[in-house]
Structure 1
């Protein structure tokens, strides 16, 4: 049979530079006084297409065109999608058939308060007022959203839209981002086109990608139902071609001016700009980089007996085995997530400390440092939201274990978190023990998952900032069968390999972040576009929101092959297309700062994220594949070797019996009871470091 294959794109947009810098470099080249080295992140040969930049032009504004500010969209609202259900239902019609969200699900259940802000995937977004029968969302009809110079974030690396579609998924939804003067593009001011593709349907869209899933659907006949797949809202990010440049306005797509039953219609609840990982300016500037991460992939952290873990006023003490250490600024901050939670969670207190290297466990080396959130000791995170602490001073050495303590307010019957964490978590008595140095009031839990903590950032040099490597994948990255001490994930193995690299200097030069998950739904769904220039979750939350991500190593596809029941060619082609699609998607985003070299001197600039694809290791006895699935795996690996020279890491060869990508068995030394052992993950890490050292990679990590 004939199988459709996505084309391999071979162009890559060079990193944008400020106009003044281009003039200086051009003049130096003309004078013969400057030589250049091709930027690692800006060379050709990587499948990617960046957002298209266009010269600025004045748009004619009809009387019907609406204008508002990003932090007050009331002037741009033109549809009512949320109703209050009592004895009668307030007027609302999200889909042309009189159906709507239930206001109480948003406010009372999820904690999304009418007219207030919510932070999703790092972007703070002002919600409209809803539940009163008045307009509460924006049908995408060409509205102009201005970005004020104060009172709202106006620079960043991505725009995040809270959106949903009715009538079916909306595709090819295109709009424009306008930069103010002194941007990185070729005109001043300048426009960048963006595309939301797709905007998933509120009922039939994937639950795994939703930022929030509600329970009820209200109807105009004063009835209420509970759809099997509840109404959903999605966070969709689009990359900014000029990270750090001031944005003056964002024009919504000109797609529709009304709802009609069965017709795809995109709705926007709100939007915000995700800040860069550079805070402050001048001598007070701080460059942040991720040093540890954990992906939230379940709404219920389990105990070892498979029951649901609960907490009631207790303090959780969570260990995090970091990669890179702080610079001389000694700054640290943490990220908390309620992304998979269905209700708000409040933390009454939080702290951070280094683990005592002698006593270990829940014992801190010194009195913990109190954490605050926007100056407050407590923080409430709504369902689907996240929070970042204020910076604190803490000297963190590379590979140290950091203890984060969180007192959870009240009773929580189900905690969202990372499902297979292989990390111990300590729980105190029902009290605030965040300031305790000793472990006397803590007891090791039997949690198999890791609740709430999603990341730790540290400061890096302002003159020579470093970035992070994000490992995005399934069980191999997650380390599902590694030792249960929190220090044997693939990220830990790579950090160890960097320290012990005979070609290195024993230092960890960049953050190594584990975005591995037990979930099997990591490969994107192919849309009508061959280049996907936006991101839904879990990709946006797990990868693009990480601290100064510069490089992503993708290792996934095994579970997809094991679940495939078609012939080998079809199974392989589906995975090949999805991997190519995912690579293009990630390549379209930009780093907050990166390094190119001119006259052997580093120059900081923005450039595309580098992406490596890993070959799929052989199936194991614990998760065997059929002959057809094995043939498909070998076909996928040959595809990667043939089409991505210098852009793949041969994980399959690292652990296979004969050292090739097509060997069907894992070497015995890397297995324990038929499952990957710590040695397996160490061999994967060794292959990564060896490929980076040997020059096998076109774009080395930095």
Structure 2
């Protein structure tokens, strides 16, 4: 962004790990791995790929996201979708009101998906332009130096960030479906144990992405959506979002293995309208407004799954099916201009949920019918057909219902993941976008 400081960094310290940690991390670092900026592949053929991501949003009107953090360490878990031999982190102050100092930052492996404890000897420091800390202006983001750190897909990275000074309102992601941990005062980034992390939140703070690179990394698939993509209704700390199941599906197929999956869903998000200060700002910028940051600025994006629009239909001021379709077509046009393939998802049923109305249902059915035949998308994922009740298509199948009659449970999200066509993701298709340079404020 304009006015943001741009910095580029290199990491020159090689990583050494104990035999136990090396096994857990997936082996020793490759001699061919290199640090550096730009879209070029590593010497052994891999490219930077997004292995984990979330979409940043403004602070809520009250609570910890609004008051911020001061001399605390926040420890967060990021579940990887694809493995690599080196990694880099993305930290964001996109929605902050003042500059934020990120003090010491470390990455390790969690002992379990619901623990703040690190696997012994797995913690390593992360640097920015070779320094152990960085200050990021309001409205900007930063990418760390590459760190040689072998990690497999399906691992739980433990990322700790010390915030030595008052942050003001945070840039966060409120609906994580994952426990994060807030420490007692001080820098606890190097603590292998969990004792200092006495506070818990189910949100991520400032952390928006992890990229990896290795011999087999082939690029990124981004899921752009709302709470259905965010995983509302899935098991806490269970990695039961549809994007988690989809990543496992891609990894198991030789034709699509090596692709990372980024979850850029935001609960309550809409295609056409932003969340506002009086209407849950944590719902985030509209899909149209956040496409550049959350999709086009990610690493080696090959395809996007657009699965959004239900909130436009069910939240006032209500949009029509035609208006939402126009918004989705605009997103597809912008993505196609960058050579990115677009899969669009139909909207799933929600009868008996609190916001259901006969008119919203009529608009949903009309939108789905248009999406199934619209030529502006490369493929259609018929999520509606995958999860609706055959006896009452206005309702979610009972076996897939989380209980609120709109969001799915883990089984329902697996059905959604299985409905995404993958032919256009097969090996041989070129990557569409280049990653951001390392260590830059963007």
Whether the TM-score (by the shorter chain) exceeds 0.5 is: yes
Contact 1:314 1:407 in 2 (8 A): yes
Match of 1:622 in 2: 353
Contact 1:354 1:366 in 2 (8 A): no
- Kindly report which structure 2 residues correspond to 1:187-336, keeping only aligned pairs within 5 A, or say none: 276-278=38-40, 283=43, 287-300=47-60, 308=66, 310-326=68-84, 330-336=85-91
SS of the residue 1:538 aligns to: helix
Given the alignment of the two structures, is residue 642 of structure 1 paired with residue 382 of structure 2, yes or no? no
Query: Are the structure 2 counterparts of residues 699 and 450 from structure 1 closer, same or farther at C-alpha, using a change threshold of 3 Å?
Result: closer
Given the alignment of the two structures, is residue 652 of structure 1 paired with residue 384 of structure 2, yes or no? yes
Return the TM-score normalized by structure 1: 0.51
Distance in 2 (CA, whole Å) between partners of 1:663 and 1:324 is 36
Query: Are the structure 2 counterparts of residues 340 and 368 from structure 1 closer, same or farther at C-alpha, using a change threshold of 3 Å?
Result: same
Q: What is the CA-CA distance between 1:314 and the residue it aligns to?
A: 1.4
Among residues 311, 334, 338, which one is paired with 1:559 in the alignment? Answer: 311
Instruction: Pick the structure with more helix per residue.
Output: 2
Looking at both structures, which has the greater relative contact order when contacts are Cα pairs under 8 Å and sequence separation is at least 6? 2
Q: Which has the larger radius of gyration?
A: 1
Among residues 118, 121, 143, which one is paired with 1:388 in the alignment? Answer: 143
Unmatched 5+ residue regions in structure 2? 9-36, 275-286, 430-442
Unmatched 5+ residue regions in structure 1? 1-111, 126-150, 152-274, 526-534, 590-607
Contact 1:336 1:386 in 2 (8 A): yes
Given the alignment of the two structures, is residue 581 of structure 1 paired with residue 330 of structure 2, yes or no? yes
Query: Are the structure 2 counterparts of residues 359 and 382 from structure 1 closer, same or farther at C-alpha, using a change threshold of 3 Å?
Result: closer
Question: Which digits, 9 at most, give the CA deviation of each residue in 1:11-48, with x for residues without a partner?
Answer: xxxxxxxxxxxxxxxxxxxxxxxxxxxxxxxxxxxxxx
Among residues 103, 118, 126, which one is paired with 2:4 in the alignment? Answer: 118
Match of 2:234 in 1: 482
Contact 1:421 1:449 in 2 (8 A): yes
Distance in 1 (CA, whole Å) between partners of 2:267 and 2:113 is 32
Query: Are the structure 2 counterparts of residues 320 and 293 from structure 1 closer, same or farther at C-alpha, using a change threshold of 3 Å?
Result: same
Query: Are the structure 2 counterparts of residues 407 and 565 from structure 1 closer, same or farther at C-alpha, using a change threshold of 3 Å?
Result: closer
Match of 1:27 in 2: none
Among residues 491, 495, 503, which one is paired with 2:247 in the alignment? Answer: 495
Contact 2:346 2:368 in 1 (8 A): yes
Return the TM-score normalized by structure 2: 0.79
Match of 1:456 in 2: 210
Among residues 334, 338, 345, which one is paired with 2:93 in the alignment? Answer: 338
Contact 1:311 1:408 in 2 (8 A): yes
Q: What is the CA-CA distance between 1:332 and the residue it aligns to?
A: 0.8
Contact 2:272 2:288 in 1 (8 A): no
- Kindly report which structure 2 residues correspond to 1:47-446, keeping only aligned pairs within 5 A, or say none: 118=4, 124=6, 276-278=38-40, 283=43, 287-300=47-60, 308=66, 310-326=68-84, 330-357=85-112, 360-445=115-200
Q: What is the CA-CA distance between 1:358 and the residue it aligns to?
A: 9.6
Match of 2:438 in 1: none
Distance in 1 (CA, whole Å) between partners of 2:333 and 2:219 is 20
- Kindly report which structure 2 residues correspond to 1:463-612, keeping only aligned pairs within 5 A, or say none: 465-485=217-237, 487-498=239-250, 504=253, 508-523=257-272, 537-563=289-315, 571-589=320-338, 608-612=339-343
Q: What is the CA-CA distance between 1:571 and the residue it aligns to?
A: 1.2
Distance in 1 (CA, whole Å) between partners of 2:415 and 2:232 is 16
Distance in 1 (CA, whole Å) between partners of 2:360 and 2:288 is 29
SS of the residue 1:353 aligns to: strand
Q: What is the CA-CA distance between 1:536 and the residue it aligns to?
A: 7.0
Question: Which digits, 9 at most, give the CA deviation of each residue in 1:584-617, with x for residues without a partner?
Answer: 111111xxxxxxxxxxxxxxxxxx1111110111
